[in-house]
Amino acid sequence: MVRPNDEVEALLQEYADLIAITGGEAFKARAYEKAARAIGGYPADVSHLDAAGLKEIPGVGTSIAEKVVEYLRTGHVTVVDERRARIPAGVRQLITIPTLGPKKAMALYENLHISSVNELADAITAEKLRDLRGFGEKTEENILHGIALMRQSRGRILLSTAMEAAEDVVAELSRIPGCEHCAYAGSLRRMKETVGDIDVLVAARRSAPFMDALTELPSTAEVIVHGGKKTSVRTAEGVQVDLRVVRPDAWGAGMQYFTGSKAHNIRTRTIAVHLGLKLSEYGLFDADGGERVASRSEDEVYARLGLPWIPPTLREDRGEIEAGLRGELPRVVTERDIRGDLHTHTDLTDGLTPLEEMVAAAAGRGYAYYAVTDHAPNLYMQRMTDEKILAQRERVRSLDGRHHGMRLLHGTELNIGPGGEVDWPDAFLQGFDLCVAAVHSHFNVGRRAMTRRLVRACENPRVNVIGHPTTRLLGKRPGVDADLDEVFAACARTGTALEINAQPDRLDLGDEDILRAKDHGARFAVDTDAHSIPQLAYLRYGVGTAQRGWLTPDDVINTWPLRRLRRFLRKDRTD
Ligand code: DGT
Ligand code: CA
Ligand code: CA
């Protein structure tokens, strides 16, 4: 849902860009930019304000307030439309390239009719820029570098990539004397499936040692800003890390603010205002006296707002504030609730590790049960046969209970064929303790056919879990086109669990689909689909995603005791 404030913010930001690009006064562009940010972050809905009310917002003067009123009344602003008509949208994109300012962008458009980043890259390759006044070989090189950086940084990074980088930074900074707390915040702490940049927070009396240390880390490739309040660097992998140092007594307020999300913060700030308080990254203050009433811990800040501590994975303004105020926040599933992994591979198919080693590693994680589910024969390159899988079953049975009582389930990962059929006949499937079934080919059969295919798989009495249900690959392949509501309803009706596949480039189902599926009454399995021992640890990303979908242990079949799980796996069959 787009809030009026966000709309106005986008409009003013666009106007600022248009001013800059058409050679308008720089101070005017900056003023609009500042007002845009102030309105975007303003707690009250601006569509309820008149010009006088708008002018209360810092940075909003008479002329800006008038334009906002015009926009709210008519849906557009004449002067913005006029500037828009002079400039194609693609040119605005040009000024977002690092090293390319508005003047150069305009020169490129006027002289070479370049109006997109791609056209610019092509023109440089064709050496068309060199003859332009103010451009030379060096400028071309800089622009190309800027384009590469922009393309890289626009692609958000996978949660796992960000997590690994952040944990390294946190470990390094935590060792510096004077560090009272150090943690990552932002979308990473909220376990979003992709992360724009990493936000790290330190609580210490002096900031300089931490700021300096970040710029000097071996992983740091480039220093973007080096300051006392904030330092930003880019790692060799192109990941941006923002570091802020707060006073130890403001740790909780800082973590609350920088964990976000922005939408969640707007809600907490509004609650503060209604209570006669002011909430910022420095603390919760009395609006009149300015006296600090809470800031040391997140707990304390939330409590003073009349809220329980809210798990970061829920902080998206998707109802967590209302639930918290009613005292009805869900008790979300955690890694410790997971009793076993129900989708894993060995070197019998495409895994890297022999069965015995995978089982030992699973036992090392303290699991009560563990399922081995290698690929079935219809995925031809895996060369599975009846003999091979039956021989594996013997090995699984002989290892069962050998690691402090951990029970082993022998399963398989079936292929859901174009018509919803699976690999083996029912009589053969009967021998498995559980079957995961997933789409691995024929992704574009059309919406109706794909829906029918997945529903048929659910209706198969031997299919227990739909593996990576949408088959999306983050940043590479969108999910399949299917009526997911129909599929989720079929899962609920037939007792088939939906997988939350924890592979970082899948995280499939994703949070929003989980919320929908839960509404249908479906159950879930949080599985790693591990192909090697280190991948067993991907579980955390699956659990984070499950939390973002508001799942409790009761929703997740692999938190259940084995007896309850086995009953679920029978799907009402009597054999
Ligand atoms: P990302 O990095 O795009 O994946 O997403 P975030 O959520 O990490 O966003 P980021 O890095 O821009 O800022 C970190 C947090 O700081 C954000 O979640 C909430 C807080 N924050 C940043 N800018 C604003 C703002 O303008 N208003 C409010 N209320 N909070 C903000
Ligand atoms: Ca961030
Ligand atoms: Ca940031």
pLDDT tens for 557-570 read: 999 999 999 999 99
Q: Is residue 444 part of a domain?
A: yes
Pocket test for ligand 1, best of 5, 163, 192, 199 (most atoms within 8 A of CB): 199
Q: What are phi and psi of 255, to 5 degrees?
A: -65, -40
CATH classification at residue 289: 3.30.210.10
CA-nearest residue, atom 16 of ligand 1: 258
Q: What is the pLDDT of residues 340-360, one digit of tens each?
A: 999 999 999 988 899 999 999
Which H or E run includes 112? helix 102-112
H/E segment holding residue 145: helix 137-154
Among the three residues 293, 326, 359, which one is the final residue of a domain in this structure? 326
* Token digits of residue 397: 């049975």
- Residues 101, 180: one domain? no
Claim to verify: residue 416 and residue 391 sit in the same structural domain = yes
The torsion angles phi and psi of 571, rounded to 5 degrees, stand at 50, 40
What one-letter code names the amino acid at 98?
P
Q: 3-class SS at 286?
A: strand
Strand-pairing partners, residue 181, are 203
How far apart (Å, rounded) are the C-alpha atoms in residues 406 and 382? 28
Strands (E), 416-454: 434-438
Q: What is the pLDDT of residues 116-135, one digit of tens each?
A: 888 898 899 888 888 888 88
Task: From 464, 560, 547, 536, select the one nearest 509 (Cα to Cα).
Answer: 547
User: Is residue 77, in this structure, part of any structural domain at all?
Assistant: yes
The CATH number covering residue 184 comes to 3.30.460.10
In a domain, residue 574? The reply is no
CA distances 111 to 17, 108, 482, Å, are: 20, 5, 48
Q: Please tell me the predicted confidence (pLDDT) of residue 574.
A: 61
Please give the model's pTM, rounded to 2 decimal places.
0.76
Question: What ligand is nearest to the CA atom of residue 259?
Answer: 1
**pLDDT, position 135:** 86
Q: Are residues 373 and 358 in the same domain?
A: yes
The total number of structural domains that make up the chain: 4
Residue nearest to atom 26 of ligand 1 (CA): 41
Cβ-contact 231, 207 below 8 angstroms: no
Quote the CA–CA distance of 113 and 320 in Å, as a whole number.
Answer: 49
Question: Does residue 143 sit within a domain?
Answer: yes
pLDDT tens for 532-556 read 999 999 999 999 999 999 999 999 9
Which range is least confidently modeled, 169-173, 180-184, 236-240, 423-427?
236-240
Ligand 1 atom index nearest CA of 265 = 29
Q: Are 38 and 85 part of one and the same domain?
A: yes
| Cβ-contact 95, 88 below 8 angstroms | no
pLDDT of residue 575: 60
Of 103-107, 112-116, 252-256, the range with the highest mean pLDDT is 252-256
Pairing, β 277-280 against β 283-286? antiparallel
Quick: pLDDT tens for 429-463. 999 999 999 999 998 889 999 999 999 999 999 99
Look at the block and give the residue holding tokens 């690994």: 164
Query: Which of 200, 226, 246 delimits the end of a domain?
Result: 246
Instruction: Give the integer Cα–Cα distance in Å for 450 and 145.
Output: 43
Give the atom of ligand 1 at the shortest distance from the alpha carbon of 192. 4
Distance of CA 259 from the midpoint of ligand 1 (Å): 7
Q: Which residues are within 8 A (CB) of 498 and not within 5 positions of it... i.e. 6 or more apart?
A: 465, 466, 469, 488, 491, 509, 514, 517, 522, 523, 524, 525
Same domain, yes or no, for 107 and 221? no
**Where do we find the tokens 């990473």?**
188
- Compute the CA torsion angle 90, 146, 166, 37 (nearest 10 deg): -50
One-letter amino acid at 520 equals H
Q: Could you give the CA distance from residue 23 to residue 32 in angstroms, rounded to a whole number?
A: 15
Q: Which residue has the tokens 């068309």?
A: 128
Q: Is 236 helix (H, G, I), strand (E, B) or coil?
A: coil
Whether 41 is in a domain gets the answer: yes
Check if the beta carbon of residue 396 is closer than 8 Å to that of residue 371.
Answer: no
For ligand 1, whether the C-beta of 285 sits within 6 Å is no
Q: Are 292 and 283 in contact (CB under 8 A)?
A: yes
| pLDDT tens per residue across span 220-268 | 989 999 999 999 999 877 789 999 999 999 999 999 999 999 999 999 9
Residue 275 pLDDT more than 50?
A: yes
Same domain, 131 and 10: yes
The CATH number covering residue 46 comes to 1.10.150.110
DSSP-derived 3-state class of residue 210: helix
Mark residue 59 as left, alpha or beta (left: phi above 0; alpha: psi -120 to 50; beta: remaining). Answer: left
**403 located within any domain:** yes
Rounded to whole angstroms, the Cα distance separating 113 from 388 reads 64
Cα 518 to Cα 468, 554, 555, 565, distances in angstroms: 16, 11, 8, 18
With a pLDDT cut of 70, the percent of the chain lying above it is: 97
Rounded to 5 degrees, what are φ and ψ at 144?
Answer: -60, -40
Q: Residue 385: which domain range?
A: 335-569
The last residue of one of the domains, among 309, 326, 343, is 326
- Out of 118-127, 145-154, 169-178, 504-513, least confident range: 145-154
Residues 414 and 309 in one domain: no
Query: Ligand 1 centre and the CA of 160: distance in Å?
Result: 19
Residue 130 lies in a domain: yes
Ligand 1 center from residue 95 Cα (angstroms): 23
Q: What is the mean pLDDT of the chain?
A: 92
CA dihedral 486, 489, 494, 497 (to 10 degrees): 100
Higher pLDDT, 18 or 386: 386
What ranges in 260-352 are assigned the alpha helix state H? 262-274, 298-304, 320-325
Mean of the pLDDT values across residues 192-207? 96
Domain shared by 124 and 242, yes or no: no
Same domain, yes or no: 378 and 435:
yes
On the question of pLDDT at 153 being above 70, the answer is: no
| pLDDT category of residue 485 using cuts at 50, 70 and 90 | very high
Same domain for 173 and 49: no
102: helix, strand or coil: helix
Per-residue confidence (pLDDT) for residue 154, from 0 to 100: 61
Give the distance (Å) from ligand 3 centre to CA of residue 506. Answer: 24
Give Cα 496 to chain centroid, integer Å: 26
- Residue 55 maps to a domain: yes
Q: Report the range of poorest mean pLDDT among 82-91, 269-278, 400-409.
A: 82-91
Residue with CA nearest ligand 1 atom 18: 260
Nearest alpha carbon to residue 462 among 420, 497, 430: 430
**Residues 54-78 pLDDT 10s:** 999 989 999 999 999 999 888 889 9
At 117, list the tokens: 């980043």
Q: Output Rg (C-alpha) for the chain, integer angstroms.
A: 28
Report whether pLDDT(283) > 50: yes
Residue count of the chain: 575
The answer, yes or no, to whether any atom of ligand 1 lies below 6 A from the CB of 373, is: no
Span 376-401, pLDDT tens digits: 998 877 789 999 999 999 999 999 99
Q: Say whether both 197 and 292 belong to one domain.
A: no
What is the structure's pLDDT at 155? Answer: 62
DSSP state of 561: -
Nearest CA to ligand 1 atom 1: 196
Three-state SS letters, 527-549: ECCECCCHHHHHHHHHHHHHHHC
Position 1 scores a pLDDT of 34
Pair 144, 65 in one domain: yes
